[in-house]
Structure 1
Amino acid sequence: MRIVKTFASGIALVAVLGLAACSGGSGSAGSGNIFGGGSGNQKQSTGGLRHQPKPEEKRETIWDLFTNVDDPNTTVEVNRYIWNASLDVLSFMPVQAADPFSGIIVFGYGRPSGGGTAHKATVYVRDPALDARSLSVALYTRSGPASAEAVRKVEDAILTRARQLRIRDGKL
């Protein structure tokens, strides 16, 4: 029984020392003091015991990983012309999934008019610039990946259509 009490006391001591090591000693905002202590001129967070760092503050302790400092209103920007051009050029394929926040469009199998082979595609628009590096296309047939030439033709068609959409909007 005495061994169990000693073991429990040892674990409690390790936990206290671990928390004390995270405190940084000053108790100031951003110092890692998870109990929100500090000098009287600092504002306490009303949302809980832990200091909620501002997005521009750097994380200093492991405990700061568990706070949500990311702005929920920030989204990944994608080029709207490339997005719309992808939907236009690959309109013969059914859209299975689309996420405009991450820039991914997943198309199901479809046959182009006048074409005999069914294709499916995944389009990834990863940058707000109207540029070839902003677009990535994965094209598949029922027998496997499509040729590099076919992928390049689809990418060129999407970029050409995106430029046309951009020029049309510039004339408004």
Structure 2
Amino acid sequence: MPTTRVCRTSSRSGRTARLAAVPALLTLFTLTACSGGDKASDLTAPRNHLLSEDRGATGGDDQLTGGVNAYLWRGALDTLSFMPIASADAVGGFLLTDWYTPPAAHGERFKITAYILDRRLRSDALRVSVFRQVYQDGVWTDTPPAANMASDITTKILARARELRADNGNRDN
């Protein structure tokens, strides 16, 4: 029995020694991380050339320097606001809704993706995709939407964007 007792004692002292070493190791790692400041700042300095470009959704400039048309972006948000938004990126001009079931349509749901492709307020600067699923035999099945659904939504987004631009005095910024 004394050997068991000795093992327990040595186990406790080993655990205590390890616990005492933790603060010392943390201090050592902290001091190591703080030294050599120039090398650390060189490693973390951004080197992406896109950071110097304006990628905001401002105005409807005719120059293609990046970003998207703010009127198209706001028009898409306003037009699709009745659906839950799953993802939105104003810089990239991407808007994705979550599945939406219209109140009058049971067993049918829709998802819409809108891409704003340009800084100019033009009809070809907008691409809309509509996805439709029907609930059949306990499973949601992909089904093509009505042929004119994407073009109707595109028309509504463009009309709203033009209305916003007119409210702004037909200015592009």
TM superposition score category, shorter chain reference: 0.5 to 0.7
Q: Which amino acid aligns with 2:131?
A: Y
Aligned twin of 1:109: 99
Partner of 1:170, secondary structure, is coil
Say which of 81, 85, 94 aligns to 1:91.
Answer: 81
Q: Residues 135 and 115 of structure 1: is their aligned pair in 2 closer, same or farther, counting only changes over 3 Å? A: farther
- Give distance in 2, aligned partners of 1:115 and 1:167: 35
Structure in which a larger fraction of residues adopt strand: 2
For residue 126 of structure 1, the aligned residue among 111, 117, 135 is 117
Change (3 A) 1:68 1:148: farther
2:89 & 2:103 partners in 1: Cα distance?
A: 26
Q: Name the aligned partner's letter for residue 93 of structure 1.
A: M
Using CA pairs under 8 Å that are at least 6 residues apart, name the structure with larger relative contact order, 1 or 2.
2
For 2:70, the aligned partner's letter is R
Q: Residues 21-170 of structure 1 correspond to what in structure 2 (within 5 A)?
A: 68=47, 70-74=49-53, 75=55, 76-112=66-102, 117-142=108-133, 143-170=142-169
Q: 1:72 to 1:112 in 2, by over 3 A?
A: same
Pair 171,105 (structure 1): closer, same or farther in 2 beyond 3 Å: closer
Shift of 1:100: 1.0
Structure exhibiting the larger radius of gyration computed from Cα positions: 2
Q: Counterpart amino acid of 1:96?
A: A
Length-normalised TM-score, structure 1: 0.55
Whole-Å separation in 1 of the counterparts to 2:47 and 2:77:
35
Could you say what secondary structure the match of 2:168 adopts?
helix
Alignment gaps of 5+ in structure 1: 1-46, 49-66
Q: CA deviation at 1:92?
A: 1.5
- Greater percentage in helix: 2
**Which one-letter code corresponds to 1:152 in the other structure?**
S
Structure 1 contact 92–111 (Cα < 8 Å) conserved = no
AA aligned to 2:120 is A
In the alignment of these two chains, the number of paired residues is 108
Verify the 8 A CA contact 1:81 1:165 in the aligned structure 2.
yes
Deviation string, structure 1 residues 87-142 (Cα, Å, up to 9, x no partner): 11111111111111111011011245656642111110010111011100010111
Contact 1:127 1:134 in 2 (8 A): yes
Q: Distance in 1 between matches of 2:79 and 2:122?
A: 17
CA distance 1:121–1:70, change in 2 (3 Å): same
What CA RMSD, in Å, does the superposition of the two structures yield over aligned residues? 2.6
Q: What are the superposed Cα offsets for residues 22-42 of structure 1, whole Å, 9 maximum, x if unpaired?
A: xxxxxxxxxxxxxxxxxxxxx
